[in-house]
Amino acid sequence: MTTYLVRRILAFVPLVWAIATITFFLMHAVPGGPFDREKPLPPQVMANLERKYNLDKPILVQYGLFLRGLATGDLGQSFSQNRPVTTIIRERLPKSVQLGLCAFSFALVGGLALGVTAAVRQNSAVDYFSVVLATIGASVPNFVLAVFLVLLFSLQLGWFDVLGWEFGNYRKMVLPIVSLGMLPLALIARVTRASMLEVLNQDYIRTARAKGLTEFRVVMRHAVRNALIPVLTIAGPILAGLLTGSFIIERFYAIGGVGTAFVDAVQLRDYGMIMGTTLLFAVAIAVMNLVVDISYAIVDPRIRY
Amino acid sequence: MEKFNWRALLGLFALAAVVLAAACGDDEEGGGPGGEAEQPRQGGEIVVQYLEFQSFDPHFSSFAQDIGHQTFVFRGLYKLNKDNEPVPEMAADMPQISADGKTYTVKIKPGLKWSDGDDLKAEDFVAGIERTCNPDNAGEYQYLLSNIVGCDDYYAATDKSAAEKAALRAKLGVRAIDDTTIEFKLQQPQPTFTTILTMWMTWPVPIHIVPDGSTPWPEDPTKLAFNGPFVVSEYVPKERMVFTRNPNYAGQPAYLDKITFRYIEDNVQSNNAFRAGELHMALADATNLKALQQEFPDKLLSYVTPTTIGLEMQLKKKPLDNLNVRLALSRAIDRKALAENVLQGAVTPTTTWVPPEVLGLDPNATDLFEEQIGFNPEKAKEALAAAGYPNGQGFPTLSILIRDSAGARATAEFLKEQFKTILNIDVNIEIVDAPTRSKRFTEGQFELFPGGWHQDYPDPENWIIGLFDTGGTLNNYNCSDPEIDDLISKARYNTNDQERREQYKKVNELISTRICGVAPMYHSLNHVLIDPRLKGVRENATSQDRVLAGDWAPELWWLSE
């Protein structure tokens, strides 16, 4: 297990390097630079700006400078905000992580409960309700859902605020969490239901029932645990996605997270921020995949590394 | 691609929101425009939508939202009043100008203080000019200080050694004679120099905090010292900035105790927050304007901003070098239909490059050159035939370069359709993202290009110099007209204000009627939702506004009970 972990973690280094290199050259190949503005700048201003941010140097020199910075954890300066990229990410990531964790908990608890209940009471009203909810959750995009939630709960009922995120203040938490968590909830519910249905037909469930265990014990101890593996597989990438923020939800509720940073950076050709956010996403996904692989071993004793 | 699909959808749902809200009846509060005169009152706190700044350094910034923030907390020697005339702000009086018009001496008010209690001295103002001319700081508005002796030389010293840069800085034509007197040396007498001294790139530097021009501005704006009506007391990136009254401000103290900027990029949502009472002022969602006019007849304020958008044409590309071709294209554009139907009344149609009010004309005189270049299908066809392309025969396919946005697409589609129906010519629409479009524009790699100019300061020269003189740094459509060049060279350093304005009026006429690079189409409007209790905003909405109505003078905002 330890060697496996060390090997996996060491593999992050070439992964990060490869992603950084590809992104670096791709973004410099795209036409237009950070100072190509709607209102054009005079040539001398352009020259001084490029000097200030080392953009006047040959591309390979810039690449070398970037790699040197990366090795020391310095991602350089954001052109659009005149501050270090690492500072910006450090400021914004906590909000995305808070929101992401809340949305993930909402999705996981809701999705599992819905999926398990639906499978246990197959073809009942609960099951139909869960299928309908899962279908709606999966097919209604979150920006549409967000607009409806705001219309109903903020403007009509006045229960929640229209804007913002503040941990601990329910008026500012519920709508972003539901908007962000509904799609993963639906996905988890569907996968759980399907997986539970399969497990409930297994011989060992019949054995458990034959032993005279209560239905609750059968489901919770024997079925759910085995049904979790497919859920875990999708939960990892879902969590990685939620933690690194959502462009649409953060923009809509005006939450200063890291989700908006990536799209903004690309539109502004903010090279430092593009690299910073790309690497953040890459590392988050790699780490979550590792966590999923480890948790397989915990859930399923047959899996060993 | 994805972005605009969801934006369009958002628009639809916003519409639904409006219908719902309207159906449920909106309680109108009293006190709309035209109520009895109420006296401004001290105190109160408000929250308004704003766009986050990119740089807080006035000697570097060029974005409207940056300058908007800075106006709350910094001020220069002079400021423009509501009528766009320079009046003393930190200065004690108007400048003393030498007989040759090349030396300006300015006395500042005695006893000026920064918000942290440090003395605000003449050398702080000198440091501001030095910082803008400093090549290492790379100030984006340095070119407005070109006329100060040595500023261009210093700014161009990018590759020089530190010692050479220091020598060039020492040669700058600005110095502190004593603690309260500043002297500026100009290369040429400049009639607009006092106006330049109202602008952000000339504002003082708290040198007790930022000692020299190469030191970056502090990352945390609350660590700065301020000389404007407010100070920054809290800043949460991407979320909000809180301003409180500066007790050391030398002008009339601000009425409001506290103003919070809430950073919101999505106007659909800021409008919802305005409906829910979370904001006192918000930018109206321009894609939903007609519904907002119904919903908020007393709260929606629409007014002309100093922006002109036209169809820019690359004069180096055939057949656009032919005046008759340009006339044909311009006359085939139904500007009223474009403004009303395509852009939902978010703009106002025009045929003049420089807005009428900047030229000192009636602001409603928008159809100045309607006769020559305005919509007229018959005259458009005649001009095209005169250019040698009767009924569009043999006319090459031109391309319109636009950025990927809903408004730009709609405009381009409209133009394409008009050119086909009226002139029987084909154009391609080429869609790229914003930086690519800008790059192509500065390199002159375009044929037709919807674009324009937003004013930096309210003087006709700001609309013309560098933009239409042969070889001008911003003249990317290659306008080159001896008559225009001659008039610009005469007007530029003409200290006879009236004569100078007449000369620019003539230049504007030549640019507009000869379509020297741009066929004007419309002036943009600013649309703002304002809580009726918030006063001093509507009254001060002018062309100096950066983002919100009246944000050039937040010290005049107040809240009625």
Whether residues B473 and A42 touch (CB distance < 8 A) is answered with yes
pLDDT in tens, B20-72: 444 443 333 334 444 456 789 999 999 999 999 988 999 998 889 999 999 99
Of B10, B16, B62, the CB nearest to A143: B10
What's the whole-number mean pLDDT along residues B256-279? 93
CB-based contact (8 Å) between B307 and chain A? no
Helix and strand element counts for chain A (H, E): 14, 0
What's the mean pLDDT when you consider all of chain B?
Answer: 90
CB-based contact (8 Å) between B262 and chain A? yes
SS3 B49: strand
**Residue B3: predicted pLDDT:** 39
CA distances from B488 to A134, B485, B504 (A): 68, 5, 7
- Chain B closest-CA separation from residue A185 CA (Å): 22
Non-local CB neighbours of B288 within 8 Å, separated by 6+ positions: B11, B14, B15, B18, B268, B271
pLDDT in tens, B223-259: 999 999 999 999 988 889 999 999 999 999 999 999 9
**Residue B36: predicted pLDDT:** 57
**Residue B168: predicted pLDDT:** 95
Whether residues A150 and B466 touch (CB distance < 8 A) is answered with no
**Residue B366: predicted pLDDT:** 61
Q: Which residue of B has its CA nearest to A35?
A: B435
Domains and CATH numbers, chain B: 75-227 (3.90.76.10), 303-524 (3.10.105.10)
pLDDT confidence of B13, banded at 50, 70, 90?
Answer: very low
Q: Which residue of B has its CA nearest to A84?
A: B219
**Residue A136: predicted pLDDT:** 86
Task: Decide if B368 contacts B351 (C-beta within 8 A).
Answer: yes
- Chain A closest-CA separation from residue B105 CA (Å): 28
State the DSSP string of A60-123. Answer: HHHHHHHHHHHHTT---B-TTTSSBHHHHHHHHHHHHHHHHHHHHHHHHHHHHHHHHHHHHTTT
Of B6, B143, B278, the CB nearest to A45: B143
Q: Which residue of B has its CA nearest to A257?
A: B238
Whether residues B435 and A44 touch (CB distance < 8 A) is answered with no
Classify domain A93-299 by CATH number. 1.10.3720.10
Q: Higher-confidence residue: B553 or B30?
A: B553
pLDDT confidence of B410, banded at 50, 70, 90?
Answer: very high
Instruction: List all residues of chain B from 456 to 485 with a beta carbon under 8 Å from chain A.
Output: 466, 473-474, 476
pLDDT in tens, B411-444: 999 999 999 999 999 999 999 988 888 888 988 9
**Residue B383: predicted pLDDT:** 95
Of A80, A162, A268, the CB nearest to B269: A162
CB-based contact (8 Å) between B146 and chain A? no
Task: Decide if B355 contacts B523 (C-beta within 8 A).
Answer: yes
- For residue A260, the chain B residues in CB contact (below 8 A) are 238, 265
Task: Decide if B560 contacts B41 (C-beta within 8 A).
Answer: yes
State the DSSP string of B84-151. Answer: S-EEESSBSSSPEE-TTS-EEEEEBPTT-B-TTS-B--HHHHHHHHHHHH-TTTT-TTGGGGTTBTTH
Interface test with B, best of A27, A28, A30, A36 (most B CBs within 10 A): A36
Of A41, A163, A268, the CB nearest to B269: A163
Which segment of A236-245, B316-325, B406-415 scores lowest on mean pLDDT? A236-245
CB-based contact (8 Å) between B429 and chain A? no
**Residue A205: predicted pLDDT:** 84
Percentage with pLDDT > 70 across chain B? 93
Burial B397-429 (b: 16+ CB within 10 A, else e): ebbbbbbbeebbebbbebbbebbeebbebebeb
Whether residues B438 and A260 touch (CB distance < 8 A) is answered with no
- For residue A155, the chain B residues in CB contact (below 8 A) are 17, 20-21, 272, 275-276
CB-based contact (8 Å) between B309 and chain A? no
SS3 B558: strand
Q: Higher-confidence residue: B484 or B542?
A: B484
ipTM of the complex: 0.84
Residue B233 in tokens: 């007391």
- For residue B16, the chain A residues in CB contact (below 8 A) are 151
Domain segments of chain A: what residues?
2-86, 93-299
Distance of alpha carbon B268 from the chain centroid: 23
Residue in the block written with tokens 């120099």 = B193
Whether residues A144 and B13 touch (CB distance < 8 A) is answered with yes
> Is the model's pTM score more than 0.90?
no
Interface test with A, best of B438, B463, B469, B474 (most A CBs within 10 A): B438
- Of B74, B7, B538, nearest to B281 by C-alpha is B538
- For residue B21, the chain A residues in CB contact (below 8 A) are 155
Q: Which residue of A has its CA nearest to B269?
A: A252
pLDDT in tens, B349-365: 999 999 988 888 876 66
Q: Is the pLDDT of residue B12 over 60?
A: no
Q: Higher-confidence residue: B7 or A138?
A: A138
Instruction: List all residues of chain B from 165 to 224 with a beta carbon under 8 Å from chain A.
Output: 216-217, 219
pLDDT in tens, B138-172: 888 998 999 999 999 999 998 899 999 999 999 99
- Of B236, B254, A9, B252, nearest to B244 by C-alpha is B254
User: What pLDDT tens digit does each residue of chain A (305 aa) get?
Assistant: 788 888 888 888 899 899 999 999 998 888 888 888 777 888 888 888 888 888 888 999 999 989 898 888 888 888 888 888 998 888 888 888 999 999 999 999 999 998 888 888 888 888 898 888 888 888 888 888 898 999 899 888 989 988 888 888 888 899 999 999 999 999 999 999 999 888 888 888 888 888 888 888 888 878 888 888 888 888 888 888 888 778 888 888 888 888 888 888 888 888 888 999 899 888 888 888 888 888 888 777 777 77
Q: How many CB pairs under 8 A join A and B?
A: 161
Of B10, B432, B438, the CB nearest to A40: B438
Whether residues A141 and B6 touch (CB distance < 8 A) is answered with yes
**Residue B245: predicted pLDDT:** 96
